[in-house]
């Protein structure tokens, strides 16, 4: 693997901003990613636009192995002004460099190094950071016919591969009350803000209830963004709270959903409306076990040091491929840290070795 060539490709991707919610930026990014893939893979991608979001797919023969990544980032357009691309002392920085533009570079260079790409499918989606609302069916359809999926998302701490991920559910609870003048006749109102407070306490208690009643492991049910009211002298008629849920297994995800739907109002005259539900399923350790063992053996053969596995709370499209029944190994991308934050960075010396590992994994599993 030629590190200089990889760094040139990485700089090109980072300088092409690709905020998930900006369709025009995603279209520009898709053109750049397509050109890199075309040059390195020797084939034109299929560009699949769903709901304005561009996804790229390369298919070589009957797919047996899926290489999976995304080209969108969480960084709004203009972030390069405050977080410019830089490469100093072996560390690359810039918006999306770790999550996951370096992973895309490694993906393409790994595939380019294969003696044959027959049996390989490459999918680069454009909405992963939003939860993959348009690309999920496409990802699941491809994965269902494959023997293995290798996800080029960034590694866990210290370069560990991601052998398990928590499942993610997202909800919004709306509380409807009745407005009234807060000074003249508050008793005529039904305070959605007070009801919202009751519900936040009840929601925060759900995780503890699950932990005390099962072997569900670490479950988090976290009220996040909230709002209520329209003015300081009006009884609030509407309140909202968003809820982030992380679960280790499908049973816990189902139980949280059940308890969320059992919430009842406490303040007379108010009512509740729950939206959302389970999103990404958990990536079960059993789905990655055999692939991880193979990766450890290959890493030893290549002399690139011992590999570790890690369980992480963040989700990825690897959750969908595992949920579709395809053995999945995640976190094969960049080594570095600071995803989604000002300190986002990549240790560039690790990029060729990680690409070699992926290339060898594909070569062995594409024959299954």
Q: Which of 11, 72, 249, 350 is catalytic?
A: 72
CB 69 within 8 A of CB 107: yes
CA angle 257, 260, 262 (to 5 degrees): 115
Catalytic site includes residue 128 = yes
Catalytic site includes residue 72 = yes
Q: Rounded CA gap, 130 and 280, in Å?
A: 11
Q: Which of 17, 99, 128, 249 is catalytic?
A: 128
Closest CA to 256 of 198, 170, 362, 343: 170
Exposure class string for 308-340: b at 16+ Cβ within 10 A, else e: ebbbbebbbbbbbbbbbebbbbbbbbbbbbebe
Cα 171 to chain centroid, rounded: 17
Q: Output phi, psi for 285, to 5 deg.
A: -55, -30
Q: Which of the residues are catalytic?
A: 72, 128
């Amino acid at each position: 693997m030629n590190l200089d060539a990889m760094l040139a490709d990485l700089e090109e991707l980072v300088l092409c901003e690709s905020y998930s919610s900006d369709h025009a930026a995603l279209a520009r990014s898709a053109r750049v990613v397509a050109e890199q893939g075309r040059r390195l893979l020797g084939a034109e991608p299929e560009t699949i636009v769903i709901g304005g979001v561009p996804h790229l797919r390369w298919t070589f023969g009957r797919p047996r192995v899926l290489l999976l990544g995304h080209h969108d980032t969480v960084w709004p357009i203009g972030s390069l002004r405050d977080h410019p691309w830089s490469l100093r002392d072996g560390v690359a920085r810039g918006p999306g460099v770790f999550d996951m533009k370096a992973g895309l570079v490694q993906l393409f260079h790994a595939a380019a190094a294969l003696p044959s790409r027959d049996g390989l499918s490459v999918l680069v989606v454009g909405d992963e950071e939003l939860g993959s609302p348009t690309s999920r069916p496409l990802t699941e359809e491809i994965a269902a016919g494959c023997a293995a999926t290798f996800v080029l998302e960034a590694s866990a701490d210290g370069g560990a591969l991601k052998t398990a991920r928590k499942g993610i559910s997202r909800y919004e609870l709306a509380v409807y009350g009745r407005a009234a003048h807060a000074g003249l006749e508050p008793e005529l109102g039904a305070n959605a803000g007070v009801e919202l407070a009751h519900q936040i306490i009840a929601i925060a208690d759900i995780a503890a209830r699950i932990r005390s009643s099962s072997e569900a492991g670490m479950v988090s049910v976290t009220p996040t963004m909230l709002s209520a009211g329209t003015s300081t002298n009006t009884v609030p008629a509407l309140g909202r709270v968003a809820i982030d849920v992380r679960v280790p297994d499908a049973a816990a995800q189902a139980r949280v959903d059940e308890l969320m739907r059992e919430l009842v109002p406490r303040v007379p005259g108010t009512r509740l409306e729950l939206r959302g539900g389970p999103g990404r399923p958990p990536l079960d350790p059993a789905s990655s076990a055999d692939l991880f063992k193979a990766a450890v053996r290959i890493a030893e053969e290549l002399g690139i040091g011992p590999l570790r596995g890690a369980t992480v709370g963040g989700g990825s499209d690897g959750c969908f491929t595992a949920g579709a029944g395809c053995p999945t190994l995640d976190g094969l991308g960049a080594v570095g840290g600071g995803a989604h934050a000002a300190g986002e960075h990549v240790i560039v010396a690790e990029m060729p070795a990680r690409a070699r590992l992926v290339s060898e994994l594909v070569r062995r599993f594409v024959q299954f």
